[in-house]
């Protein structure tokens, strides 16, 4: 007895053929791909502090202008916090609806953490100014440089409870170097320079401080002042005159770029 061979219709036979070709092709491509291509790369994990140590964009170049274009200036205050002057600076800034960046020394931040928190609560920005304000830091060894910069950053983090970003680093005396900038960059900070140096730390008189700003300021200026490191009564007096004058000239107050 001869058995009849079952032959499916042509449309089904073509479907089986196409499915077979696709299956073989897919298997061949999968086998050809390298393990690195076929296995997704693991995604990095970590907390916010870890991420900040490897910023996506940080060229190491010093910031010397404002973040906002137009008629804005960035006020910066060094060497605090100081219980005699930092609160007075904050009061003046609030009175004139101004903001500023405070470059703080680690030893002072440890002594007065409540002032660090007050600065942050007032809507200001923080800048790491090292632990001890060693003006020869650029000549030190790698370990000393790292200890000063990372230590200053840590002092600010501990004072604020990690509530505020620390985006900037300012070398003592403005004595930057590629090594200092590289250490700061690894912790997510850019070097913060200035374009108007009031030299208020030399105590030239409030009038001279005011004149220096008035003669040098322009849109985008970063202005260097001090709220710590010595007697700053002249700076406070100059600020009472500068803030309204800047506003009258049409300047707004912002943060470094």
The DSSP line for 38-56 is: HSPPPPP---HHHHHTS-S
Report yes or no on 152 lying in a domain: yes
Q: By mean pLDDT, which of 19-23, 117-121, 172-176 is the weakest?
A: 19-23
- The DSSP line for 147-177 is HHHHHHHHHHHHHHTS-S-EEEE--GGG---
Please state, in angstroms and rounded to a whole number, the distance separating the CA atoms of residues 120 and 115: 9
- Rounded CA gap, 131 and 123, in Å? 23
- Say if 21 falls within a structural domain: no
Adjacent-strand bridge partners of 100: 75
CB count within 10 Å of CB 173 equals 14
Give the span between the Cα atoms of 23 and 27, in whole angstroms.
Answer: 6
Count the domains in the chain. Answer: 1
pLDDT value at position 131? 98
Helix (H) or strand (E) holding 182: helix 178-186
* Distance set, CA 229 to CA 54, 66, 80, 138 (Å): 32, 25, 7, 20
SS3 assignment, position 226: strand
Average pLDDT, the chain: 83
CA distance 238 to 213: 10
Range of the domain at 160: 59-253
Strands 196-197, 190-191: pairing kind:
unpaired
pLDDT of amino acid 60:
60
Using the predicted structure, report yes or no on whether residue 192 has a pLDDT greater than 90.
yes
44 part of a folded domain: no
Distance of CA 44 to the CA centre of its chain: 22
In the chain the first and final C-alpha atoms are separated, in Å, by 93
Q: What tens digit of pLDDT does each residue of 31-78 get?
A: 333 333 333 333 332 222 322 333 334 446 789 999 999 999 999 999
Say whether pLDDT at 26 is over 50: no
Any domain includes 30: no
4 in any annotated domain: no
Q: Which residues are catalytic?
A: 78, 226
Residue the block writes with tokens 């995604």:
43
With respect to residue 84, please indicate whether it lies within any of the assigned structural domains.
yes
Angle at 217 between CA 213 and CA 221, to 5 degrees: 115
CATH number at residue 201: 3.20.20.370
Asked if 226 contacts 232 with a C-beta cutoff of 8 angstroms, the reply is yes
Residue 27 lies in a domain: no
Asked if residue 37 is part of any domain, the answer here is: no
Higher pLDDT, 219 or 5: 219
Q: Find the mean pLDDT for residues 213-242.
A: 98
Q: Which tokens hold the place of 89?
A: 């600076």
Residue 16 vs residue 226, higher pLDDT: 226
């Amino acid at each position: 007895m001869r058995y009849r061979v079952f032959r499916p219709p042509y449309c089904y036979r073509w479907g089986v053929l196409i499915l077979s070709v696709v299956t073989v092709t897919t298997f061949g491509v999968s086998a050809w791909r390298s393990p690195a291509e076929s296995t997704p790369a693991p995604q990095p994990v970590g907390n916010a502090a870890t991420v900040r140590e490897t910023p996506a964009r940080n060229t190491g170049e010093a910031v010397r202008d404002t973040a906002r274009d137009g008629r804005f200036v960035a006020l910066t205050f060094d060497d605090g916090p100081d219980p005699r002057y930092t609160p007075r600076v904050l009061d003046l800034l609030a009175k004139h609806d101004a903001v500023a960046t405070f470059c703080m020394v680690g030893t002072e931040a440890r002594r007065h953490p409540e002032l660090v928190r007050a600065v942050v609560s007032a809507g200001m920005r923080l800048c790491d100014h090292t632990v001890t304000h060693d003006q020869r830091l650029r000549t030190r060894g790698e370990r000393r440089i790292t200890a000063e910069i990372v230590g200053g950053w840590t002092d600010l983090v501990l004072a604020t409870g990690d509530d505020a970003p620390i985006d900037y680093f300012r070398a003592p005396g403005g004595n930057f170097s590629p090594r200092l900038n590289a250490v700061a960059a690894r912790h997510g900070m850019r070097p913060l320079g200035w374009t108007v140096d009031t030299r208020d730390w030399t105590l030239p008189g409030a009038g001279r401080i005011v004149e220096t700003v008035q003669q040098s300021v322009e849109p985008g200026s970063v202005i260097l002042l001090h709220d710590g490191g010595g007697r700053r009564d002249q700076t406070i007096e100059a600020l009472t005159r500068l803030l309204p004058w800047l506003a009258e000239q049409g300047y707004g107050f912002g943060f470094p770029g």
